């Protein structure tokens, strides 16, 4: 089994769930200006918790796998989450949440299942599990972020700075899939299970769909 084969299998297995994420009704609500202001604020509040948690999770993964390709890969992911967290402040302010309000925000369990699983992977997952899960998840998440950013600008009058958080995720980092593939191959060569990696991808994608469902 190679990373290329594993990624292709995971994408095939998850095609139905990925389509449900891409076609989520919440995105139509945004595009038609039917999403309520409290939903727009909730999007900021949920992501504030998710991004901060994921940043710590990736930092922990870098410490678990300090040698080889995985350490640098996870460290770069943590750095990316840090950049996203800074950009999120502008969207949160536009949605009416300052940092104190973000701290008071009560997250929805369905939205936070995703980041809870990322934390579980940081503690228990192999490098191939994490890398495959995020490769499989990246396209749908990025496309949805692109649609959210456009809808906020076109339907709600948000500015470019207000939507920079979503634009940041709309375009995958250069070379991300190639780096992830190398980390998957590194993990497989070390004896990590392809079955466990595909399971991680399946669960993360399901929790991604749950996020949109809970937000809507």
Boundaries of every domain in the chain: 3-215
Give the span between the Cα atoms of 21 and 186, in whole angstroms: 30
Q: pLDDT at position 87, please?
A: 98
Q: Tell me the pLDDT tens digit for each residue of 73-130.
A: 999 999 999 999 999 999 999 999 999 999 999 999 999 999 999 999 999 999 999 9
Q: pLDDT at position 184, please?
A: 98
Region 43-54: mean pLDDT is 98
Q: Quote the mean pLDDT of the chain.
A: 97
Q: pLDDT at position 170, please?
A: 96
Region 193-197: mean pLDDT is 98
Residue 132 in this model has a pLDDT that exceeds 90 = yes
Q: pLDDT at position 71, please?
A: 97
Residue 169 in this model has a pLDDT that exceeds 90 = yes
Of the candidates 212, 53, 58, the residue with the CA atom closest to the CA atom of residue 131:
58
Q: Rounded to whole angstroms, what are the CA distances from 28 to 41, 86, 140?
A: 17, 27, 15
Give the span between the Cα atoms of 4 and 167, in whole angstroms: 28
Residue 172 in this model has a pLDDT that exceeds 90 = no
Give the span between the Cα atoms of 216 and 200, in whole angstroms: 25
The predicted model scores a pTM of: 0.96
Q: pLDDT at position 119, please?
A: 98
Q: pLDDT at position 80, please?
A: 97
CATH no. for 3-215:
1.20.910.10
């Amino acid at each position: 089994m190679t990373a290329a084969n594993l990624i292709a299998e995971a994408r095939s297995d998850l095609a139905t769930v990925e389509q449900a994420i891409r076609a989520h009704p919440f995105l139509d609500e945004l595009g038609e200006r039917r999403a309520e202001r409290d939903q727009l604020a909730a999007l900021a509040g949920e992501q504030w918790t998710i991004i901060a948690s994921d940043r710590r999770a990736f930092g922990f993964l870098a410490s678990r796998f300090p040698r080889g390709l995985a350490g640098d890969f996870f460290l770069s992911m943590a750095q990316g989450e840090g950049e996203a967290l800074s950009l999120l402040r502008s969207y949160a302010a536009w949605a009416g949440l300052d940092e104190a309000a973000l701290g008071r925000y009560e997250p929805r369990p369905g939205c936070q299942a995703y980041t809870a699983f990322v934390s579980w992977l940081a503690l228990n997952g192999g490098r191939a599990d994490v890398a495959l899960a995020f490769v499989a998840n990246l396209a749908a998440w990025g496309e949805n972020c692109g649609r959210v950013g456009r809808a906020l600008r076109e339907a709600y009058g948000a500015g470019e700075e207000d939507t920079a958080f979503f634009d940041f995720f709309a375009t995958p980092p250069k070379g991300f899939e190639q780096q992830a593939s190398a980390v998957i191959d590194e993990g497989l060569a070390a004896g990590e299970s392809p079955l466990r990696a595909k399971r991680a991808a399946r669960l993360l994608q399901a929790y991604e769909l749950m996020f949109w469902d809970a937000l809507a």
